[in-house]
Chains A and B, each alone.
Chain A
Amino acid sequence: MPTPFDPMTPNPYRIRRAHRETHDTFSLELETVNGDGALSFAPGQFNMLYVFGVGEVPISISGDPQQPRKLIHTTREVGAVTRALRRLKRGDTLGVRGPFGTHWPVEECAGSDVVIVAGGIGLAPLRPALYQLMAQRERFGKLALLYGARTPGDILYPHELQRWRAHFDLDVYVTVDRGESGWRGNVGVVTTLIPRAPFDPHNAVAFVCGPEIMMRFTIQELEKRGVAAQNIYVSLERNMKCAIGLCGHCQFGPTFVCKDGPVFRYDHIKAWFEKREI
């Protein structure tokens, strides 16, 4: 008899590949300990990664949902657990709970233009959505990726961005807040890309992920261009612990980011998004 799914029990996974993306970000490619399992997930969902003896953190899944055997997470070293994650090497094991949370509504975008606005590490939870959109490219209208990073050296997945840019059916715009000598790309905040991107604002769905302040200004710019609040989706980050809506650590107004999010339709959370106290 199969073991019933227990969302609170971590499953052991082994690191198949660990590699640095930028000076402070890295990706871990995981496989089940016996190597024959797969973890199906939807773009935008997250897992709880447990470094034994250190602690557990929520990390978005950044791999391809069509390749569930290759479970990839990209994160940044910001605290004790992510620093410990960074030290793990190929062959080490860690605990995985998930996947949890809501997802980017890729299927519902059929027939619409899709504009993806990512800032910094926010590109990681959006990458699975891009994979899915590209896998069914003919079902969507125009597709644009607008990505902002701090400096050219902070650009995540640069090779993949170049590959995507080579597609004739995906418009990729990259900008950095601080240009360095030799950089000949765009300089300026990611919001400055929104007026330039080719999409029909009245028939477009926007997926936005990045620091909350970047999302706030991005939403303003999208709305200014004419994208309706109900067609804007954001991914929020809060202090998630249980990941199943029990502990309340990630409460956001009347919602829990772990189970009602992390992906929210903007008009559903607009009232709380604009509250400084939340």
Chain B
Amino acid sequence: METLERILAEHPFFQQLGPKYMQLLVSCASNVRFEADQYLFREGDEANHFYFIRHGKVAIQIFVPGRGPITLQTVGEGEMLGWSWLIPPYQWRFDAQALELTRAIALDAKCLRTKCEEDHDLGYAFMKQFALVISERLQAARLQLLDVYGVRA
């Protein structure tokens, strides 16, 4: 059976944080499982976890009155989900719903936030890694806005 330590150590995201923090990460990590249609979190909830998706697919959604949930993006195997835990007011900005059976590793962000405040090297390492995730998502969102496949008038 794969240990949490091995799973985390093999992932490039956690590798970048360095071996020094591996035990800390493992102590904050737990295996979680979500059935299809189950919500991982909802907009406005406290953002006290982030997730590393091992299997499955999660839709990041925004609820629009009169239209219902609109999927902005999907996140799948090997990807990180959630960065609101790192930025005040630590509340989710969107809903996250599993589209199929999804297995993930949840990291206790409340605990990590405190550790990041205590150890700025760890805080900086996390910031750098999440800045990369956020910039990739921002670039993808901008491309989506361009509507590149639409017919030009």
Contacts and interface: CB of A to CB of B under 8 A. Distances in A.
Contact of B71 (A24, A148, A179): A179
B49 interface: no
A76 interface: yes
A183 B71 contact: yes
A187 B149 contact: no
Given A183-B71, A184-B99, A196 B77 contact: yes
Interface string B99-112: 11000000000000
B146 to A, nearest CB: 7
Contacts of A121: 149
A165 interface: no
B73 A187 contact: yes
Nearest to A185: B74
A96 B148 CA distance: 30
Contact of B149 (A177, A184, A185, A188): A177
A117 to B, nearest CB: 13
B149 A186 contact: no
Size class of A's contact patch?
20 to 34
A184 B150 CA distance: 22
Contacts of B99: 184
A187 B78 contact: no
Contacts of B147: 150, 177
Interface in A116-136: 119-121
Question: How big is chain B's contact interface, by range?
Answer: 20 to 34
A178 B71 CA distance: 7
B79 to A, nearest CB: 8
A76 B151 contact: yes
Contacts of B139: 217
Interface centre among A24, A119, A181, A189 (most CB of B within 10 A): A189
A188 B144 contact: yes
Given A186-B57, A189-B144, A120 B74 contact: no
A179 B58 CA distance: 13
Interface string B68-100: 111111101111000000000000000000011
Interface string A165-184: 00000000001011101011
Interface stretch (A61-69, A206-214, A235-243): A206-214
Given A119-B148, A120-B149, A150-B147, A184 B100 contact: yes
A260 interface: no
B143 A191 contact: yes
Contacts of B140: 188-189, 191-192
A122 to B, nearest CB: 9
Nearest to B73: A188
A150 B152 CA distance: 13
B47 interface: no
A196 B148 contact: no
25 contacts: A119-B149, A120-B148, A121-B149, A149-B149, A177-B148, A177-B149, A178-B144, A179-B70, A179-B71, A179-B74, A183-B71, A184-B57, A184-B99, A184-B100, A186-B74, A186-B76, A188-B140, A188-B144, A189-B144, A195-B78, A196-B76, A196-B77, A196-B78, A211-B149, A214-B148
Interface of A: 24, 76, 78, 119-121, 148-150, 154, 175, 177-179, 181, 183-189, 191-192, 195-196, 210-211, 213-214, 217
